[in-house]
Amino acid sequence: MSIIEKAVNALGKGSKPDAEAGEGGTADAPGATVPRAEERAPEVDAGERPRPPAPPENVREEPRLDELLEPPRERSRYVKLPFRSLRERGMLTPQIPRSAIAEEYRTIKRPLLTNIEGDSITPPIPYGNLIMVTSALEGDGKTFSAISLALSIAMEQDKTVLFVDADTAKAEAGRVLGVPQDAPGLIELLEHPGMVPEDLIMDTNVDKFRILPAGDLHTHANELLASARMRQLMMELSEEDSNRVIVFDSPPLLLTTEAAVLAGFMGQIVFIVSADMTPQHAVTQAIEHIGEDKMVGLVLNRARRRSNPYHYDYGYGRGPYGYGVRERLKAAEG
């Protein structure tokens, strides 16, 4: 029996049954109206709260308070390096450790690692594990060399690599390595003091190779890179793990001011020159943007030899412009 029927019975107590009421029916109280079956409210179990009607499909429900307070979904901090694409570009990959390009970068990385550790002849360079790869102009092979060098160092038994895409305007290295375009990185780390590198560093399918993306474009990128926060960050990255090498892909020195700012924080600089392509005066002018106390290594890219059409020659030195580099430039001018 429904609630309404019970109510009607309560009102009609003492009245005689209506002869015209249907079988099993109840007599109507004076003035009472019994709803028709289709108008009666649905039966509800005791203690059950009626559900509100569902909103129309084209009306969006307001978010609940717990949804508003819920933290945002964590971004993926993993990227799978596209080895096939890297090989097609001619880059070094760990899958082919005995290739010609791998041998070239073994030659290039060895003096860099010696400068980090030091030996019986060469003392270790302060912050030598901060290595910037740059060039004078675009198209010299800077990003190609930075990625290949970093992957080569990651093959060392006792070294890990943090690759930093510091070319914040282009972020070309990140695209080549498969980093999502909207991945936060260096810029956000500098802009928000509450962040720490581990919040943004991405793991990869190479155990000892990790990436810090460039981050979002920023109109004050130069000021952020020149800030005290950047200096503190560089010191922390260098000192917290003596077995880690941090490789920076920097903008070209003659195209942006960011590269010269970054150079001031580095222990070593690898300068890429494209054979028969980079003008000599551009190399000399770019080297002048680097402090005289910096160790500068010169990589001659696309130098052709009979035995290897894609040879990468290397020279380095310390002093004004790196004395080894300065002497090499004078020899080239002669």
178 and 294 together in one domain = yes
CATH number of the domain at 209, please: 3.40.50.300
Domains in the chain, number: 2
Residue 244 and residue 129 in contact, taking contact as beta carbons nearer than 8 Å: yes
Tell me which DSSP letter residue 38 carries: G
Statement: the pTM of the whole predicted model exceeds 0.95 = no
Q: Are residues 137 and 10 in the same domain?
A: no
Instruction: Taking residues 277-294, report their average pLDDT.
Output: 91
Between 142-154 and 100-117, two packed helices, what is the crossing angle to 10 degrees?
A: 70
Contact call for residues 290 and 252 (beta carbons, < 8 A): no
Same domain, 8 and 88: no
Residue 95 pLDDT level (bands cut at 50, 70, 90): confident
CA distance 325 to 133: 15
In this prediction, residue 311 carries a pLDDT of 44
Q: How many residues does the chain have?
A: 334
Rounded to the nearest 10°, the torsion over CA 273, 263, 208, 123 is 90
| pLDDT for position 40 | 52
Residue 266 belongs to some domain of the structure: yes
**33 and 88 in one domain?**
no
Task: State the DSSP H helix or E strand holding residue 247, giving kind and residue range, or none if neither.
Answer: strand 244-249
Place of tokens 């009609």: 12
Listed in sequence order, the DSSP H helices in 89-135 are 100-117
Q: What is the mean pLDDT of the segment spanning 121-126?
A: 90
Residues 209 and 312 grouped into a single domain: yes
Amino acid at residue number 319: G
Q: What's the angle, vertex CA 26, arms to CA 34 and CA 47, rounded to 5?
A: 65
What range defines the domain where residue 159 resides? 79-333
* pLDDT value of position 27: 44
User: In this structure, are 153 and 13 located in the same domain?
Assistant: no
The answer to whether residues 18 and 127 belong to one domain is: no
Residues 234 and 100 in one domain: yes
29 lies in the same domain as 138: no
Q: Based on the domain organization, do 116 and 191 belong to the same domain?
A: yes
Given a contact cutoff of 8 angstroms between Cβ atoms, the answer to whether 245 and 131 are in contact is: yes
Q: Does any domain span residue 65?
A: no
301 and 183 housed in the same domain: yes
